[in-house]
Structure 1
Amino acid sequence: MTEMTRPLGPTSANSWQVRPGAVDLRRPVRPPVPLELAALPERLTLDLARTALVVVDMQNDFCHPDGWLASIGVDVTPARAPIAVLAELTAALRAHQVPIIWLNWGNRPDRANLPPNVLHVYDPAAEGRGIGSPLPTNGAPVLQSGSWAAAVVDELTPAEADIRVDKYRMSGFFDTPLDSVLRGLRVDTVLFGGVNADQCVLATLTDAACLGYDVVMIEDAVATTSPEFCMAATVYNVRQCFGFTVAAAELLIAMPSSTPADLRIEHGPA
């Protein structure tokens, strides 16, 4: 009797087929799901079957009225603007088995991997108002992994199958598993949403492009608390140097009405 063959891998997109005494290294072939989009600077066709959405820093410290930015006098209203767009977009992408990665700033409690230059940006006079300091509203440690401060805002509750990655710099690739997670998912194209568009989103998107990913920033799914010219410069640089921009509505309209069962990807938390 032939031994049963079983999949072995973190996802169905990145798995071997094994049985006692034999291993098949061929990964499953997923039929492409092309989406044609009215993007800028040019029309764009992407393969939804090889795409992931990375949502950057939509967390309490940056987007909640009781979070860290608000506590130091920043108006977080602009940072909350992408919430409704991302809520609709993540639901639609999940229905098509597109991985959703929540990339949040979440430091170690001991801050052992943070150099002084990173700490200085957020606490230039070393007054205890930066990374790891307790929030005046609820005592949560600023930008610390596992804390309320680093949690995704309530309106964007991640699904169980979504993937979470902590980051420790403006870029989500430095000193994190983000690259290996994306490669494990067999992703070519990365969609970007989140805050701040001109800082952590742009830094992560730039590194993604330099690593060889196709990058697409969803214009109404990103925002910044910086001055308007910073957003204008970010959009210009993404289109000019790194990839493409698109409106969320274009993605939603272009998605097929159903997803064949053989396109489904099983994935879990990183």
Structure 2
Amino acid sequence: MRGGDRPARSPAPGQGVNPFDGTLPFGERPALILIDLMRAYFEPGADLYMGSRDCLDSAARVLSAARAAGLPVVHTRVAFGAGGLDGGLFYRKVPPLRRLAGPLGELMPEVAPADGEVVIVKQYASAFFGTTLASTLTALRVDTLLITGVSTSGCIRASAVDAVQHGFVPVVVRQAVGDRDPGPHEANLFDIQAKYGEVWDEEEVLRRL
């Protein structure tokens, strides 16, 4: 079922008509982005460890389908210069970012970039902030951005908000994003669907591709 064909969601009891029932259409030129699928999130004992590999496995399946369909693929990872000066206050606020130097900053082998796939190095939550992502997607005439990666309440939400602000339809793949706690994970998926983009199940995305 296409996002634009979905029935409107029912309002909660006593709330009347749901004002947040708009949808955005899946476009004709999608691209896939895999956000920060680094070892730090999947290595037991690491400060950012999420406790599950489910979103990584889902993202790998979506990546395989996107490659088979000939979609542009973009990867992001986080890295900082000496002392984290290019990370500014964000680097000071989040101490685990200091551990991303070395093996913990490597992308997982299940979603390793192929030859010709763009890898964007970023310092902040949004994949758009301070990077060439918007201009790259525009040059490729992309209109829809399939979003996978981590974490839902941080880099996924920030990137989805920036995507719609740059004129790209954000489609977050529900099973292919993850967080360290189900509360913020579900709350942010709820907000993205309500106000910023579309949240599709992996099965829907694979059928579409």
Which of 43, 52, 56 is residue 64 of structure 1 equivalent to? 43
- Matched-pair contact (CA < 8 Å) for 1:221–1:248: yes
Q: TM-score, normalised by structure 2?
A: 0.83
Work out the CA distance in 1 between the residues paired with 2:6 and 2:57: 21
Extract unaligned runs of 5+ from structure 1. 1-34, 124-129, 133-141, 256-270
- Distance (whole Å) between structure 1 residues aligned to residue 200 and residue 25 of structure 2: 11
Q: CA-to-partner distance for each residue in 1:23-58, whole Å, 9 max, x for gaps? A: xxxxxxxxxxxx94576867765234x111111110
Task: Summarize the alignment of residues 249-260 of structure 1 with structure 2, pairs less than 5 Å apart.
Answer: 249-255=203-209
1:121 corresponds to which residue?
93
Partner of 1:231: 185
Deviations 1:47-99 (A, max 9, x none): 34x1111111100122223xxxx333x55223x21122111111111111101
Contact 1:64 1:153 in 2 (8 A): no
Give 2:107's aligned residue. Answer: 152
Return the match for 1:54 from 24, 33, 38: 33
What is the rounded CA distance, in whole Å, between the counterparts of 1:211 and 1:192 in structure 2?
15
Q: CA-to-partner distance for each residue in 1:161-213, whole Å, 9 max, x for gaps?
A: 22100110111211111111111211111110111111111011111111121
**Which structure shows the bigger proportion of residues in helix conformation?**
2
How many residues are matched? 195
Q: Aligned Cα RMSD in Å?
A: 2.2
1:146-225 paired onto structure 2 within 5 Å: 147-225=102-180
Partners of 2:51 and 2:118 in 1: CA distance: 26
Q: Could you tell me whether the CA contact under 8 Å between 2:84 and 2:91 is conserved in 1? A: no
Q: Contact (CA 8 Å) 2:41, 2:49: kept in 1 or not?
A: no
CA distance in 1, matches of 2:57, 2:22: 26
Equivalent position to 2:51, from 77, 81, 85: 77
1:148-172 deviations in whole A, cap 9, x for unaligned? 2222112222211221001101112
| Mapping of residues 27-46 of structure 1, within 5 Å | 36=2, 45-46=25-26
Query: 1:89 is matched by which residue type in structure 2?
Result: V
Highest CA radius of gyration, 1 or 2? 1
CA–CA distance in structure 1, aligned partners of residues 129 and 208 of structure 2: 33
Contact 2:42 2:49 in 1 (8 A): no
Structure 2: give runs of 5+ residues left out of the alignment.
8-20
